Amino acid sequence: MTILLTVLGILLFAVGLLISIAWHELGHLSTAKLFGIRVPQYMVGFGPTIWSRNKGETEYGIKAIPMGGYIRMIGMFPPGEDGRIEARSTSPWRGMIEDARTAAFEELKPGDENRLFYTRKPWKRVIVMFAGPFMNLVLAVAIFLGVAMTFGFSAQTTEVAGVQKCVISQSENRDTCAKGDPVSPAQAAGLRKGDKIVAFNGQPVADWTTLSNHIRETIGPATITVERDGKQQVLQATLAKNMVAKKNADGEVIPDKYVPAGYLGFAAKTEILPLSFTDSVDRMGDMIENGVESIVALPSKIPDLWNAAFSDGERKNDSPVGVVGAARISGEVMNLDAPAQNLIAMFMMLLAGFNLSLFLFNMLPLLPLDGGHIAGALWESLRRTVAKVFRRPDPGPFDVAKLMPVAYVVAGIFICFTLLVLVADIVNPVKIS
């Protein structure tokens, strides 16, 4: 059963991956056709073609290796000195092996002179290239908001899950009382498992964050109002000073950092609670911010990845993962001992994170990524605008093909990094904790 569930999880991720890729390329395709650019090919995957169908002037198909996708647009680059115009691929990996000036010259047909990508105004080219990553962002946001508002996330509540019998510094690596440990304020006050704290020092508390902040700010006498057996009771407690986990500005615990603060001594019950639209948007914003920070931090992750892949180094939970690693995690999700709705929510969040990564990665202003083509179009627009303002001759289209040597270097770095992640995902994968 474990093997079957793992295979099911991997297959589900593969399907989600194909849908994400097809959705991405649909953004390029639809906007290219909107602006009259001829698109001879729309493909999901690489390698041998499994299925294809011609509809109108475009061939639609699925290839054997679900590791990407592409559309082919006529006139991706302006003509070279010999005046030749070629078709190019939006795929960064396929574009590597095509020569920027000679591939697919035979695909030109009479009338294509007015349907070339490079002849479109820069703002139209920006839209065409941005549309692909934007589709991934839309899918990521839609999935995230759907999960957050219908299913929710695990959160601590003001209900008591357990009472600590004594005061133990959280910096100590133990959870059992030792001789000489003072009785915890919660135990002394008579707090019980199942009590719901509704007020602290007379101030109503509706969520764990508010209650936790009140407790941390209080050392000494305090009143705790609880609901017990349908009735409210007021307990008298004397909060102790203790070393507790330090939190950042967002209320998140900072690992291995402790500060002196007020201490009551109980464990809060954890429940899965749906979020409001506003809270969901805020949390989505945090997710995007964390994604940007992860992209920026990728170079610093290489030493740990290398040690995890080729040495006995630890594979950290925040280590980058590739398609293989994400598929393995999807397989592990299906084997968790949890209700079906929990597994579905976790899988959907994995897919949302993957789509967000596709958006952020493709927006890097480097060829052969979409962001590189966007940067080229913006530079052309700026250059032509400056020439117009100073009444200089129009410099014409910016020849992105001249940057192909840089693109090959960038693509080579990406391939090496991808292979490193692949090896790490196989020999020392990130696992669900």
Catalogue the active-site residues. 25
Neighbours of 145 (CB within 10 A): 17
Cβ proximity of 280 and 149 under 8 Å: yes
Q: What is the secondary structure of 61-74 as a DSSP string?
A: EEEEEEEEEEEEEE
- How many whole angstroms separate alpha carbon 114 and alpha carbon 37? 8
Q: Please report, in angstroms and rounded to a whole number, the separation of the first and last CA atoms in the chain.
A: 21
Strands 220-228 and 87-89: unpaired
DSSP one-letter code for 148? H
Cβ proximity of 238 and 215 under 8 Å: no
- How many whole angstroms separate alpha carbon 323 and alpha carbon 14? 9
- How many whole angstroms separate alpha carbon 334 and alpha carbon 343? 6
CB environment 77-108: b (16+ within 10 A), e (fewer): bbbeeeeebbbbbbbbbbbbebebbebbeeeb
| Dihedral, CA of residue 301, residue 304, residue 308 and residue 311, to nearest 10 | 140
Strands 231-247 and 220-228: antiparallel
Give CA separation, 221 vs 76, 203, 232, 241, 298, in Å.
73, 15, 19, 12, 49
